[in-house]
Each structure stands twice: as structure tokens, then as C-alpha cells.
């Protein structure tokens, strides 16, 4: 018995090198997809080969916002909806960092929605991972910007009448360089996608469709977390060629997954540098033109002065 106890104590968590074990156990509910999402993230970082010492993770408020506090990385738990502007400043201040925003659909697309579309438009060199569980899970089950039409929530007891955002469509239309969607059931593909984004320049967006059995499923007869994963398995299809603007999510349609956008275009910082260089070159050319103009003007003045002095001398003689 004593030997068995010693053996159990020697065993450690397989991701202990990247988890803050002093903060365990976590607060997430049984069946929540966040554990799978974090596992895919950790494995994705390992596969990407990025330096942990040069990786920073930024989260906002909500269930997913707790991720930053559980990872043994440089972590920032910011105010509600402000994870992306904080991450933008972090990246611009230290461009050697791999900066990842890991937050939920409510934090990123409700109060933080304006920041997201403009960061994508500017092509800021950060990764944004959005866990979409279709509802505000931590604060009471209110309608979220992704709650499907007709779904029930605490603020929509007769069904949701508001059209939800199509997250991948919005990110792609805003100008993101990389856009993908997976469910927590697609663990290996999600891991590969996170690794790809970690080594890619520009604004990279990954949507993770995740079960919320405690709030969303309970209000919509979705069953347990395992039941929701089985539903994802039934409804999910992979189509990398799909137009992300035409594949919204609702209560019973196909969940189209894949890597929809993978483009190369200048990042915000590269555009800033190119703009400054162009201005400096223009200024340098202007300085050269001004210098040449002064030289020509000086020569003309000397010629005029010489001719005037000659005329005066002739009159005096």
C-alpha cells in the first residue's frame, strides 16, 4: 500500500511544464470543452517550436478568460473586451514575442468586437483563439453574439430572435491573414492549426466550437458534454475551400470546419516601417534638392555680383 502511494505521488501531469499546478483544480465544469482547447493549445505550441520564454498569452473576462491564469507563460488577464488592444501594444513594444489572445465569443465579439475587426483590418501580428460556446456561461447564461437563432438563454426565455455573428466570416471579411474553425472534437486538427498560426505572420484567427453542458445545453436539451461532442461529430464536415462568409452556425445545420484563409500580406508593423522609410527617403531627396537649389542660387548671386562690379568699374574709369 505504501509503495502504491509513493508511485502515485511521483506521477505528474503530462503538461505540468506549461500549467500552473498551484492553481489547480480549475473552475471549469465537467464536460466543458475548455480543457480540450487548452490541451490543443499547449500541444500546438510544442509542435510550432516557439520559445515559451518569448510567448505571451492575453485573456479577457469569462470562462475562457481563465486560461491565462492557468498557463505557465507570461500571462495577462485584462479587462472585459480589451484583450486585443492590450495584445497589440504588447506586440508592438516587443516584436520578438509570440502574442496569443485566448478568450471567449462574448469577450471578443460583443464588448470587444470593435477591437477585433480593426486589429484584423490592420493585420496586427497576433493570434486570436476564440472559444465559442454560444452563450455567456460564467455570468448567468445570457444571450451572446453567437447564440443561434431560436436557442434559449436566460435573457431569451422564448428563444433568441437576434441573428448571431458568423465568427470566421467576420474575421475573414475584416482582413485576417489566417482563419480556421474546428470543434473541440477535432483535437489533432486544432493542434495543427494552432501550430500553423504560431509560425505565421499577420492576424490569425481560430474559432473553437466548444460544448457548454452546464448552461447552454441545459437550456436547450443538449445533454452532457459527451452528448454535445457526439453531436459535433455528426454535424461537422471539413471543407477547406468553403467561403467563410457563407457558413454560419445555427442549432441544426452542418458545422463546416477547416482552414479557410491562409494569405500572406504585410503586417501592421511592416506597413508602418514602409511608410516611415518612404517619408524619410522623400525627405532626404527634398534635402538634396534644397541643397542643390541653394548652390545654383549662390552661383547666380556670384555671377550677378561680378557683373555689377565690372559695370561700376567701367563707369568710374
Model confidence over 41-75: pLDDT tens digits?
A: 999 999 999 999 999 999 998 999 999 999 999 99
Q: Where are the domains of the chain?
A: 15-265, 267-317
- The pTM assigned to this predicted structure is 0.86
Are residues 101 and 59 in contact, defined by beta-carbon separation less than 8 angstroms?
yes
Q: What is the CATH code for 15-265?
A: 3.40.50.970
Cell 531627396 maps to which residue?
285
Residue 278 pLDDT class (50, 70, 90 cuts): confident
Mean pLDDT over residues 232-244, rounded? 96
On the question of pLDDT at 258 being above 70, the answer is: yes
Q: pLDDT class for 7, splitting at 50, 70, 90?
A: low
State pLDDT tens for residues 25-34. 898 999 999 9
- Beta-ladder partners of 153: 156
Tally of CB atoms within 10 A around 223: 16
Q: Taking 60 as the threshold, does the pLDDT of residue 313 lie above it?
A: no
pLDDT bracket for residue 86 (50, 70, 90): very high
C-alpha to C-alpha distance for 114 and 194, rounded to whole angstroms: 24
What digits encode the pLDDT tens for the residues 196-224?
A: 999 999 999 999 999 999 999 999 999 99
Question: How far from 261 is each of 15, 105, 205, 242, CA to CA, in Å?
Answer: 30, 20, 9, 10
Cβ–Cβ under 8 Å, residues 134 and 216: yes
Res. 289: pLDDT tops 70 = no
For residue 312, pLDDT over 90 is answered with no
30 Cα distance to chain centroid = 27
> β-strands 127-132, 74-77: how paired?
unpaired
Amino acid at each position: 500500500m505504501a509503495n502504491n502511494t509513493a508511485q502515485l505521488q511521483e506521477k505528474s501531469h503530462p503538461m505540468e511544464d506549461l500549467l500552473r499546478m498551484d492553481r489547480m483544480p480549475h473552475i471549469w465544469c465537467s464536460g466543458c470543452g475548455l480543457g480540450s482547447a487548452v490541451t490543443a493549445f499547449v500541444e500546438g505550441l510544442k509542435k510550432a517550436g516557439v520559445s515559451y520564454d518569448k510567448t505571451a498569452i492575453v485573456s479577457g473576462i469569462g470562462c475562457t478568460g481563465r486560461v491565462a491564469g492557468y498557463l505557465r507563460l507570461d500571462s495577462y488577464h485584462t479587462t472585459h473586451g480589451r484583450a486585443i488592444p492590450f495584445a497589440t501594444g504588447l506586440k508592438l513594444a516587443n516584436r520578438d514575442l509570440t502574442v496569443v489572445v485566448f478568450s471567449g465569443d462574448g469577450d471578443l465579439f460583443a464588448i470587444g468586437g470593435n477591437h477585433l475587426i480593426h486589429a484584423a483590418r490592420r493585420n496586427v501580428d497576433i493570434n486570436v483563439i476564440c472559444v465559442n460556446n454560444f452563450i455567456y456561461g460564467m455570468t448567468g447564461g445570457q444571450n451572446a453574439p453567437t447564440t443561434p437563432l431560436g436557442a434559449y438563454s436566460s435573457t431569451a426565455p422564448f428563444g433568441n430572435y437576434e441573428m448571431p455573428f458568423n465568427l470566421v466570416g467576420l474575421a475573414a471579411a475584416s482582413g485576417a491573414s489566417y482563419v480556421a474553425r474546428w470543434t473541440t472534437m477535432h483535437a489533432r486538427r486544432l493542434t495543427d492549426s494552432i501550430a500553423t498560426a504560431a509560425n505565421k505572420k499577420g492576424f490569425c484567427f481560430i474559432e473553437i466550437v466548444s460544448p457548454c453542458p452546464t448552461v447552454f445545453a441545459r437550456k436547450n436539451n443538449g445533454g452532457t458534454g459527451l452528448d454535445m461532442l457526439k453531436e459535433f461529430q455528426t454535424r461537422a464536415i471539413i471543407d477547406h475551400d468553403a467561403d467563410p462568409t457563407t457558413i454560419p452556425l445555427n442549432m441544426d445545420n452542418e458545422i463546416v470546419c477547416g482552414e479557410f484563409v491562409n494569405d500572406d500580406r504585410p503586417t501592421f508593423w511592416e506597413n508602418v516601417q514602409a511608410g516611415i522609410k518612404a517619408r524619410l527617403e522623400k525627405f532626404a531627396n527634398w534635402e538634396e534638392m534644397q541643397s542643390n537649389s541653394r548652390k545654383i542660387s549662390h552661383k547666380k548671386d556670384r555671377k550677378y555680383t561680378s557683373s555689377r562690379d565690372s559695370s561700376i568699374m567701367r563707369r568710374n574709369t
